[in-house]
Structure 1
């Protein structure tokens, strides 16, 4: 890949973020995270205040961008605009750090900005997009008459094991959620910054990443994937994954945001 090609991909990436401004316009200052009657890991439901403005990527990171930043495409299902997969949480963090440095060098972002993984609260806030239903489009995934894996109401918005045979489609092939974010339900599971906790009983009320016990080596994944049945694609669904594990059903989506005091230690200028 030539420097000009890399620069073009970084510029495209920089233009594919949606500005999220909590407390202004359609973006609520708080939201209810989790569920009251869902899986135990999603409880108790609680009100979370979003700390400040940030931008969420419209799409999961595509393979051509990953290759531009990391030098190699690790994916099993190849296609330049397919979501990258077969990467660990640790590698996702490195990608964000390298993308930050490259985009600063190209003056696409300022020295006070960074590319990072979303916190779990930021991710669910954006997935819900102001809704309180099981999915961003409603409470039901199956249309009248659907049985088994079929989920006609979900199909326009998400790839799952009832309408996909692999990680073949390009990012953004289906409809976005109400905030213009694509593939928030399905396609690939997405890494978030938080360490795994079995429930929300001691969860913070703010939207920062919840690290907690430093002994944890498992991280949270969100969204569901093309390998999963429709219930796993709900806005509140969450699973643990050891931070070194890779899968062809797991990728990442990035946030662009101001650097916090904690983040300054992680990314050098």
Structure 2
């Protein structure tokens, strides 16, 4: 986990031409997307080594975060109510305990703040150096941390797999759809930019979508 300093980030939505600024407190973020090996240790799924875990729905991601928290002795960040019916909805059956120190999904603002790492351009470096994308991936997924990191030590923030965020994309227009960030191995260069927002239903499972756990550290006494 990398300690990400607090700061201010401005998010934009190309569809609506809207922008908004968010203050971000310090937090912890995984240095690279969740690997299949790490996912296997927590859930018992097949171990694919250092390839990113993928084909995970937003609900899968939330459950992984809680399972990992319990495994490592942290307080789970999410309280899941009876979600039997809710998994087809917006996530009303889940509560985020923002005081918990367990693993969770980053907010969109946290994700973009971490990706930028103090930069202001569309990317934190030359795309071929930092990301697996359509023009260099041979149309397949690659092991994590094999491209250059940003200046905060975070790998694969762009390319390889899209990453789930906590936020709803635009509930008034798209209902339960959640935010995805980062671009994937099959995306053209245009999609592999820090500001790009993608939306998908929380039940979506597809081979270019994974996650990157975050944590809120406990306050120091």
The two structures have a TM-score, normalised by structure 1, of: 0.67
- Determine the structure 1 residue equivalent to 2:23: 49
- Determine the structure 2 residue equivalent to 1:60: 33
Matched, 1:103 2:62: no
- Determine the structure 2 residue equivalent to 1:33: 11
8 A contact 1:79–1:170 mirrored in 2: no
CA distance in 2, matches of 1:63, 1:90: 17
Correspondent of 2:108 among 120, 127, 130: 120
Matched, 1:91 2:63: no
Query: Deviations 1:116-145 (Å, cap 9, x if unpaired)?
Result: 0000110011111111111122xxxxxxxx
Tell me the matched-pair count.
Answer: 194
User: C-alpha root-mean-square deviation of aligned residues, in Å?
Assistant: 2.1
8 A contact 1:186–1:224 mirrored in 2: yes
- Determine the structure 2 residue equivalent to 1:247: 206
Query: Deviations 1:171-216 (Å, cap 9, x if unpaired)?
Result: 100000121100011110000011111xxxxxxxxxxxxxx66x83
Matched, 1:131 2:93: no
**What runs of 5+ residues in structure 2 fail to find an aligned partner?**
75-98
CA distance in 2, matches of 1:112, 1:228: 35
Helix, strand or coil for the counterpart of 2:130? coil
Quickly say closer, same or farther: Cα 1:181–1:94, change in 2 above 3 A.
same
8 A contact 2:2–2:30 mirrored in 1: yes
**What runs of 5+ residues in structure 1 fail to find an aligned partner?**
1-16, 23-28, 106-110, 138-152, 198-211, 261-269
Helix, strand or coil for the counterpart of 2:2? strand
Query: Deviations 1:37-89 (Å, cap 9, x if unpaired)?
Result: xx225x32222111x2211110100001101111113xxxx730100111111
Per-residue deviation, 1:113: 1.4
Per-residue deviation, 1:34: 2.1
8 A contact 2:35–2:144 mirrored in 1: yes
Helix, strand or coil for the counterpart of 1:169? coil
Helix, strand or coil for the counterpart of 1:240? strand
The two structures have a TM-score, normalised by structure 2, of: 0.81
- Determine the structure 1 residue equivalent to 2:175: 216
Query: Deviations 1:144-168 (Å, cap 9, x if unpaired)?
Result: xxxxxxxxx3101001000002444
**Bigger share in strand:** 2
